[in-house]
Amino acid sequence: MDAKDILGIPKTTPSLPHEKKSRPPKDSQRKPDGISREVYALTGGLAPLMPSIDVNQLKKKTQAENEKITWQWLPFTSSARKDNLQLYHWVRVVNGVPPTGDYSFAKYNKSIDVIKYTDEEYEKFLEDPAWTREETDQLFDLSARFDLRFVVIADKLPYSRTVEELKNRYYSVSRAILIARAASPADVSGHPLVKEPYNLAQETERKRALSMILSQSKHQERRDAEVYAEAKKIMEARMAAKAAQDSELIPISTGGAGDAERDNVNVDDESPSNPQFLSAPPISIAETASASASLRKLRVYLRTYGFEQMVQAASSSAGLRTIKRVEQILQDLGVNMKPKVPTKTVCEEHLELRKEILTLLNLQKQFQYKEAEGSSYREGSYPETPGTPKSFQRILDQDRTFIPDSTCFGAEFSGEHIVKRDQKRKAPGRPTDASSSPANKRPRKLKNTDE
Amino acid sequence: MKNASASAAERGEDSNNHNSKSPAKRLKDVEVSVPIVYGTISFWLGKKATETQSHKWTVYVRGATNADLGAVVKRVVFQLHPSFNNPVRAVESPPFELSECGWGEFEIAITLYFHADACDKPLTLFHHLKLYSEDEPGTQSIKKPVVVESYDEIVFPDPSENFFARVKNHPAILSYVSAPLGLHSVEEVNEAKEEETKDHPLSQWFKNFSEGDELSKLAAARQQVQGHIVKLRNQLSSMNGQLESVVIECD
């Protein structure tokens, strides 16, 4: 600041010195007890919103007032040691009475009971070509010393044996001894050694595999992961396919008593053995084929049911109006909708009849279209589109076109074709004439059926 | 056996397959059809009728010619209205019928269980029990029952060999064998003979279902329709000819 004065540079804004001055008094004012100034500054100079630790909850030092506590440097012995070595340590003495009891850590000195066998036993049960008596003795001795820490034992032994081999020898010997000493095999059968003997080959393999995985490079790891993922996907796909197959088969396959064998249901669609639909319009042949195939898949069905299926299949290509027409015709012909006596032949005949009626209706439609075309050609002045000639419209409007009627109708038409050509005007009139009296049609229709 | 061997459709398997455990061979081009009639007969009890039991009725399934169905059907289960005691009634042997007394009309579910070699899946029919006749409402006669019967056929499209062998010569069961090469020739191996009506108390009321009627009607109808078809076809072709000539003229 003084330097600036000397240099003549204008002083900085007067607010700065204000801040500087105001801050220290603020800090010193608000410094709370219990927390050092620096720590407090960490929080930005503000107290925390919530108390972080309740000081009252902290453990209080329990010290009864009437006791006198001193600390003394005293010797002690430990039962864990066998050599009566005396060591010293600080002891908390209460009212002049030193604590009694064993060294508090002595209880952690656990050791393993390693089996000791006699020479007799060795000769009887424990002979092994790969191991000499000496080696076995050494092994056991070391096991006892080192509490079955086989890694250490392996290191200690003069001859080189793998850890697994050592383990194998140790456990098989112990097992043999156990079984031999037991009064009856049943007594020791619960012993873990007896129940699950040490498997040398398996253990070696396992350790080898583990070490391989451990030593895998990152690259290898990634490759393995990929293979796993793919395998999982394949498995899932297979499971899904199997589930789909099963659910398909279940409705087809038979339930009930005979669970043991079911024939493999012939699922592929063979061509129907009875090609009775030669005359039918080609569209519904496929439908009926699949219907009959699905019927064949059922083990048993009622004739009426089968019949209905076939009827549905046959009429699947036709619209609702056509179906109604078919049924109307059937009625007029005196045939029952559903045969009263549905034997095989009757049903077949009925289906044939239906097919033929459908054919008839199709032909009729074609006929009418042709007619319309023809009329549009002839009456060039008429701005009628071929698709909706008036004559055709009339036919459509009458829902109840008795087929025999329209065939007579058609007969009339074609009969007077040549006449029509000359008498253009009359052409639209004709339909009205022909259809004006549906009542008259009836007797005529009856005549037809009587033929 | 002649017919059976004539149809080359049988895949040449040994016919003596008595071992029911192994999967039975199924004959693909044979169809076994069992014509049955099922329905109800109901008698008004007249003076003995009470509020809750005004009619005595019997529901039954019989062979169409009163033949024995026991060869095919193992048992029949009739499911009655829940207001009946033990509404599920099973009849284990022919004649497959059930009699009851009641006052109401309802739908009876008739489930047929077949012998294992025929089919292990049951088949269910439904029949509405009719107690009151349509004509002469109000007047009921003790002597004249209300009979409602329906004819149907149980079709086994792929019978097993055992089953076929068993029922081949059964008088009431029809077997259809279709020849190979797609030729539609249907042989009825057995004509459904008119068997003597066995002594059945209700047999006098059984209706006789003959297909002859229907067949003749159908045949007539078909002829008619075919006639119309031919006519139309002719007309169409002549029209086509005319159209062409018209087109030529116009050009």
Kindly give, in sequence order, each residue whose CB lies less than 8 Å from that of residue A315, ignoring residues fewer than 6 positions away. A284, A322, A323, A326, A354, A358
Quick one: pLDDT at residue A278? Answer: 40
Quick one: pLDDT at residue A231? Answer: 93
Nearest neighbour of A340 by CB, restricted to B116, B157, B214: B214
Contacts of B221 in chain A (CB under 8 A): 330, 333-335, 353
pLDDT cut 70: percent of chain B above it: 77
Which residue ranges of chain A lie beneath pLDDT 50? Answer: 13-29, 254-280, 381-451
How far is the CA of A123 from the CAs of A176, A217, A341, B45, B47, in angstroms?
12, 50, 95, 101, 106
Q: Do B232 and A262 touch (CB under 8 A)?
A: no
| Apex A406 CA angle, A400 and A412, nearest 5 | 145
Contacts of A256 in chain B (CB under 8 A): 113, 120-122
Quick one: pLDDT at residue A180? Answer: 81
Q: Which residues are bridge partners to A131 per DSSP?
A: A128
Q: Is the peptide bond before B145 cis (omega within 30 degrees of 0)?
A: no
In angstroms, the CA A311 to CA A330 distance is 13
Q: Do B153 and A302 touch (CB under 8 A)?
A: yes
Q: Do B224 and A333 touch (CB under 8 A)?
A: yes
Mean pLDDT across the stretch B80-96?
Answer: 88
Quick one: pLDDT at residue B196? Answer: 42
If you ran DSSP here, which 8-state letter would residue A274 be given? -
Q: Which of A377, A323, A314 is nearest to A348 (CA)?
A: A314
In angstroms, the CA B4 to CA B25 distance is 14
| pLDDT tens-digit map of A222-266 | 888 999 999 999 999 999 888 888 777 766 554 443 343 344 433
Q: What is the mean pLDDT of chain B?
A: 76
| pLDDT tens-digit map of B215-228 | 888 888 888 888 88
Q: Which of A297-301, A438-442, B36-40, B120-124 has the lowest mean pLDDT?
A: A438-442
With a cut of 50, say whether residue B179 has pLDDT above it: yes
Query: In chain B, which among 124-163 make CB contacts under 8 A with chain A?
Result: 125, 151-158, 160
In angstroms, the CA A367 to CA A272 distance is 32
Quick one: pLDDT at residue B136? Answer: 64
Q: Do B123 and A271 touch (CB under 8 A)?
A: no
Q: What is the 3-state secondary structure (H, E, C) of chain B?
A: CHHHHHCCCCCCCCCCCCCCCCCCCECCCEEEEEEEEEEEEEEECHHHCCCCCCEEEEEEEEECCCCCCCCCEEEEEEECCCCCCCCEEEECCCCEEEEEEECCCCEEEEEEEECCCCCCCCEEEEEECCCCCCCCCCCCCCCCCEEEEEEEEEEECCCEHHHHHHHCCCCCCEEEEECCCCCCCEEECCCCCCCCCCCCCCHHHCCCCCHHHHHHHHHHHHHHHHHHHHHHHHHHHHHHHHHHHHHHHHC
Nearest neighbour of A300 by CB, restricted to B35, B123, B174: B123
Mean pLDDT across the stretch B139-156?
Answer: 83
Kindly give, in sequence order, each residue whose CB lies less than 8 Å from that of residue A69, ignoring residues fewer than 6 positions away. A63, A92, A93, A94
If you ran DSSP here, which 8-state letter would residue A262 be given? -
More confident residue, A384 or B121: B121
Contacts of B22 in chain A (CB under 8 A): 261
